[in-house]
Chain A
Amino acid sequence: MNDRQTTAVITVLIALCAAGCGSDEPDSITAVSWGGSYGRAVQEGVNVPFTESTGIRVDVEDYNGGLAQIRAQVDIGDIHWDVVDLEISDAVRGCDEGLLERIDVNALEPGPDGTPAAEDFLTGSQVGCGVSTLFWSTVYAYNENNIPGARPTTMADFFDLNAFPGRRGMRRVPQVNLEFALIADGVPLDQVYAQLDTPEGLDRAFAKLETIKDEVIWWEAGAQPPQMLADGEVIMTTAYNGRIFNAQVLEDQPFVIVWDGQLLDVGQIAIVAGTPRLEEAMRYVTFASMAESMARIGRRISYSPVRKSGMPLVTTHVTAGVDMEPHMPASPANAARALRYDWSWWVDHQDAMNERFSAWLAR
């Protein structure tokens, strides 16, 4: 063989390998989550133990919620996300649109005491494609050092620029913000979604948001709010409660959570429709939805298991040793003035609200 032939043979081999070598490698999946301290809790509490017990490697990607990236992958037919951690309303919408695989709740592992999965999950937390994993909530929080005088205690205080002048952080999405606006405007918790269902109620919510619009810094990633509080860039901000907890406990930040009017939601994981790694993805979902996995997350960040058998396993924080129960959004003391997120309202209105909200922002 002369040089040229050798080169040709090597080229062909490389081409064949590129086409074939990588294709039958079922031992890794891509799990997409929300990054930051929650992402680390999932990594330590679920991904690492999953790899240890199955040998399937888990590649982690971060995102900030929404269906856009899943939609783009399914539309183009090039699916590289296998399992996604998403909000329940997105899980339902994704299911209806055929973006997610259907999952039978009976295929999931029973509780540690043998209770079938369908009974072990708290009622109302299972829908078509998504498997519920934890309770989380959006709250607002402030940095004690930056508010010297009277402290905010109610949702109305968050919107009160006279009593608490300064900039606020809010997530750059319509959900949660509209509810908060109505709660702050004096709407009783059980009337919030009834109000949102009327054009006047919607106008009222946007009008309330308008009153603080000039003072709002909009965040997207869950890791931003604690950072903005620490930097003093905002005097208070809405945030995922677990992120604030981690800053309080692990970084000794003087942050205070205001639980009044918190929006309590259920987080779900689901499988992207048409993934070539369906079997591995299903094994991951089964593993992540076991009470033990949920409890391992609950021992790292203040999101509580949605399985009845999960909560007793949580106990204390894995490194800091603090009792987790008082920090959980669903604990009775914190949930006294909590609003349950009505995902069915958002399933029907998300598109309309996204459009109205982004137009409102751009004005």
Chain B
Amino acid sequence: MAGSVRWSAGPLDRAQIRALGLVAPLLLFIGVTFIAPLGTMLMRSVHDPVVADALPETLAQLKSWDGEGLPPEAAYAALARELRRAAAARTLGQMAGRVNRVQVGLRSVVTRTARELREVEQGPWRTQMAAVDSAWADPATWYAIQVTGERFTARHYLNAVDLQQLADGSVAAQAEERRIYVRLFLRTLAVSGLITLLCLLLGYPVAHLIANSSPRRASLLLILVLVPFWTSLLVRTTAWIVLLQSQGVLNDLMVSLGLINDSGRLAMVYNMTGTIVAMTHVLLPFMVLPLYSVMRGIPATHMNAAASLGATPLRAFWRVYWPQSLPGVGAGALLVFILAIGYYITPALVGGSSGQLISNMIAYHMQTSLNWGLAAALGGVLLAGVLILYWLYDRLVGVERMGLG
């Protein structure tokens, strides 16, 4: 792959300019639809100006606060002023939501305080605010404001790997009941690995059969692989619900055959089993197609030659065929694994609560908790993980040996 395009050192000649003109729309497209959104999303994981923009004076007052005890009256006065301004500008909700993420419960404290202070013109602010909610007499509240007031922060990345920054600046593990992401990342890796393995076990014989069939039969078999591939993802996933649910086709069949009794129907969907079965099916074509394209290029005579030299079929396969099919295995496995790591719809539909993967948590933070910073950080960690795996693959197998067909 590398080195296939060479730019001359001198000024571009007409042909090169024309070539550049031809690919310019593509480059522009990639830039607008891929690089730019990715960049802004990753930016969000470290940059969050909402609180800094809403409370500039308060944060300036807090600069001189040592973190011990409560901040000076001037900080309370500035905050009261800026809360009212934020309420009028309708940015209060956003700001309160940010603070709430560091100290859960502060959203309602902040919004209620802003509501109560609407009619108040005069200080002393500290006693009045503490009267609205005792949280204002707690240094932790002010720490939350100070922390979220930083425009650039590593908070989201710490959060994404179950760490938190304490008030004294040290990094510590997240509270037990909030520690979920590392476990989910590991679960996602394990499940993706398992699905890749299953796809390989199921896909390898199929690809071999197609590659060694007569052209007519091969095209028929290929269509059988491609028709599900072309079918809507939602249709295939819901079809699995119909098959696997407890009153579904498979359970009904087993009950009528007497394999299980009616009260002992198996739970095969809305759990991890459902996620693995449905995702293996959905991703199988991504394994079969690269395998097939590589296997088609392996001459059948090689196996015959190995047999004529005295190798048993197993030995001939293992020493002659398998090494030649490795580029397809590598390509298919990498494709399936990377797709599985980011899969979202299928686990959301058939995964129940035990079959959820990290992508579902990212979706939750994008759509429900609206913590886009954390969602971006989780996505960033996932991206880094995939890149590391790709690098490892390149070191161990070599990307140039990958045959995508």
Contact = CB atoms under 8 A, between A and B. Distances in A.
Asked if chains A and B come from one complex, the reply is: yes
Given A74-B93, A362-B184, A351 B353 contact: no
B245 A352 contact: no
Interface string A89-123: 00001001111000000000000000000000000
B352 A218 contact: yes
B368 A68 contact: yes
B94 interface: yes
A356 B90 contact: no
B280 interface: no
Contact of A71 (B105, B115, B370): B370
Contact of B246 (A69, A167, A274, A359): A167
A172 B32 CA distance: 36
A358 B374 CA distance: 15
Nearest to B242: A231
Interface stretch (B106-114, B124-132, B216-224, B385-393): B106-114
Contact of B369 (A93, A354, A361): A354
Contact of B108 (A218, A347, A359): A347
A231 B108 contact: no
Contact of A231 (B87, B94, B184, B245): B245
A165 to B, nearest CB: 8
A217 interface: yes
A318 interface: no
A251 interface: no
A232 interface: yes
Given A68-B370, A348-B108, A359-B180, A274 B90 contact: yes
Interface string A119-134: 0000000000000000
B245 A348 contact: no
B247 A233 contact: yes
A357 B210 CA distance: 49
Given A98-B92, A348-B108, A362-B361, 20 more contacts: A68-B370, A75-B93, A93-B108, A93-B111, A96-B108, A97-B92, A98-B87, A213-B353, A231-B247, A233-B245, A274-B90, A347-B108, A351-B100, A351-B104, A352-B104, A355-B104, A359-B178, A362-B183, A362-B353, A363-B183
Best-buried of B94, B183, B246 by chain A (most CB within 10 Å)? B246
B331 interface: no
B177 interface: yes
A59 B278 CA distance: 35
Interface in B252-281: 263, 267, 270
Nearest to B114: A96
B77 interface: no
B318 interface: no
Interface in B187-227: none
A363 B179 CA distance: 9
B105 A351 contact: yes
B97 A71 contact: yes
A273 interface: yes
Contact of A361 (B107, B247, B353): B353
Contacts of A362: 180, 183-184, 353, 356, 361
A216 B267 CA distance: 11
Given A96-B108, A216-B353, A232 B93 contact: no
B96 interface: yes
Nearest to B178: A359
Interface string A215-253: 011100000000000011100000000000000000000
Contacts of A231: 245, 247
A349 interface: yes
B117 to A, nearest CB: 12
Given A348-B108, A351-B104, A356-B177, A217 B247 contact: no
Nearest to A77: B90
Q: How large is the interface on A (under 10, 10 to 19, 20 to 34, 35 or more residues)?
A: 35 or more
Interface in B83-104: 87, 90, 92-94, 96-97, 100, 104
A55 interface: no
A354 B353 CA distance: 15
Nearest to A358: B364
A71 B108 contact: no
A358 B115 CA distance: 29
Contacts of A218: 352-353
B352 A75 contact: no
B367 interface: yes
A96 B111 contact: yes
A232 B267 CA distance: 12
Contacts of A352: 104-105
A97 B370 CA distance: 14
Interface of A: 66, 68-69, 71-72, 74-75, 93, 96-99, 165, 167, 213-214, 216-218, 231-233, 273-274, 347-352, 354-356, 358-363
Given A97-B96, A354-B369, A167 B356 contact: no
A214 B96 CA distance: 35
A350 B369 CA distance: 11
Contact of A217 (B93, B108, B270, B369): B270
A32 to B, nearest CB: 15
Given A231-B245, A232-B246, A359-B180, A351 B108 contact: yes
Nearest to B352: A217
A245 to B, nearest CB: 23
A214 B267 CA distance: 11
B105 A349 contact: yes
Contacts of A167: 246, 267
B95 to A, nearest CB: 10
B104 A72 contact: no
Contacts of A216: 353
A360 B177 CA distance: 7
A76 to B, nearest CB: 10
Nearest to B50: A75
Contacts of B94: 75
B172 to A, nearest CB: 17
Contacts of B114: 96
20 contacts: A68-B367, A71-B93, A74-B90, A74-B93, A93-B108, A96-B108, A96-B111, A97-B92, A97-B107, A98-B90, A218-B352, A233-B246, A348-B105, A358-B364, A359-B180, A361-B356, A362-B180, A362-B353, A362-B356, A362-B361
B90 A273 contact: yes
Nearest to B364: A358
Nearest to A172: B353
A346 to B, nearest CB: 10
A134 to B, nearest CB: 25
Closest 3 CB pairs of A and B: A97-B93, A96-B111, A232-B247
A348 B92 CA distance: 16
A98 B95 CA distance: 11
